[in-house]
A and B are shown apart, each in its own frame.
Chain A
Amino acid sequence: MSGLSRILRTLRRSTLQAIPTAICIIVLNFILLQMAPGDAVDVLAAESGAATLEGMAAMRERFGLNAPVIEQLSAYLNRLLHLDLGTSARFGVPIAELIAQRLPRTLLLMALALGMAAIIGVALGAVMSSFAGRLSDRVLSILSLLFYSIPNFWIGLMLIVLFSVKLGWLPSGGSGSIGMGLTGWAALVDQARYLVLPAASLALYYVAIYARLTRAAMLEVRAQDYVRTAQAKGLPPLVVNVHHILRNALIPITTMAGMHVGAMLGGAVVVETVFSLPGLGRLAFEAVLGRDIQVLLGILLLSSFFVIVMNALVDLLHTFLDPKIGVH
Chain B
Amino acid sequence: MRLPFFRNEPPTPYDMAAANLSNRELRLFLTNPNAVVGLGILASVALLALLAPALYPGDPLSVVAEPFLWPGQDWAYPLGTDALGRDVMAGALHGARISLYVGLAATIVGFGIGLLVGASAGYFGGRTDAALVKLIEVFQTLPNFVLVVVIVAVLEPTPTVVAVAIAIVSWPTIARLARAEFRSIRERDYVTAAHSLGCGSIHIMGREILPNALPPLIVTSSIMVASAILMESGLSFMGLSDSNIISWGSMIGAGREFIRTAWYLTALPGIAIVLTVLALNMIGDGLNDALNPRTQND
Which A positions have Cβ atoms within 8 angstroms of B? 20-21, 24-25, 28, 32, 35-37, 132-133, 137, 142, 145-146, 148-154, 157-158, 160-161, 165, 216, 219-220, 259, 262-263, 265-267, 269-270, 273-274, 284-285, 287-289, 291, 293, 296-297, 299-300, 303-304, 307-308, 311
Out of A165, A216, A274, A311, name the residue touching B263 (CB < 8 Å): A165
The CA-CA distance from A54 to B249 in the complex, in Å, is: 44
Give the one of A153, A161, A267, A307 with max B CB within 10 A.
A153
With known contacts A24-B138, A145-B278, A220-B297, A303–B143 Cβ distance under 8 A: yes
**B281 x A32 contact (CB < 8 A):** no
Other A-B pairs, 10, CB within 8 Å; known A262-B141, A266-B145 = A25-B138, A25-B141, A146-B274, A154-B273, A266-B144, A288-B239, A300-B150, A303-B143, A307-B142, A307-B143
The CA-CA distance from A321 to B295 in the complex, in Å, is: 25
Residues from chain B with a CB closer than 8 A to the CB of A158 are 266-267, 270
**A151 x B151 contact (CB < 8 A):** no
The CA-CA distance from A243 to B120 in the complex, in Å, is: 42
The CA-CA distance from A48 to B274 in the complex, in Å, is: 47
- Shortest CB distance B298–A (Å): 4
Residues from chain A with a CB closer than 8 A to the CB of B295 are 216
Residues from chain B with a CB closer than 8 A to the CB of A270 are 145, 234, 237-238
Q: B255: nearest residue on chain A (CB-CB)? A: A157
**B267 x A296 contact (CB < 8 A):** no
4 interchain residue pairs of minimum CB distance: A266-B145, A154-B270, A262-B143, A133-B298
Task: Let me know if B108 is at the binding interface, CB within 8 A.
Answer: no
With known contacts A21-B138, A150-B274, A266-B143, A288–B298 Cβ distance under 8 A: no
- Give chain B's interface residue range (CB within 8 Å of chain A): 35 or more
**A160 x B259 contact (CB < 8 A):** yes
Task: Let me know if B76 is at the binding interface, CB within 8 A.
Answer: no
With known contacts A28-B138, A146-B278, A154-B252, A263–B154 Cβ distance under 8 A: no
Q: B271: nearest residue on chain A (CB-CB)? A: A154
Task: Let me know if B137 is at the binding interface, CB within 8 A.
Answer: yes
Residues from chain B with a CB closer than 8 A to the CB of A287 are 153
Task: Let me know if B81 is at the binding interface, CB within 8 A.
Answer: no
- Shortest CB distance B278–A (Å): 4
The CA-CA distance from A127 to B137 in the complex, in Å, is: 34
The CA-CA distance from A221 to B208 in the complex, in Å, is: 35
Give the one of B141, B154, B249, B281 with max A CB within 10 A.
B141
14 contacts between A and B (CB under 8 A): A28-B138, A133-B298, A137-B298, A149-B281, A157-B259, A262-B140, A262-B143, A262-B146, A266-B148, A267-B145, A269-B238, A284-B146, A288-B153, A293-B153
Give the one of A153, A154, A265 with max B CB within 10 A.
A154
Residues from chain A with a CB closer than 8 A to the CB of B259 are 157, 160-161, 165
The CA-CA distance from A259 to B61 in the complex, in Å, is: 40
Residues from chain A with a CB closer than 8 A to the CB of B149 are 266, 269, 284, 288, 296
Residues from chain B with a CB closer than 8 A to the CB of A266 are 143-146, 148-149
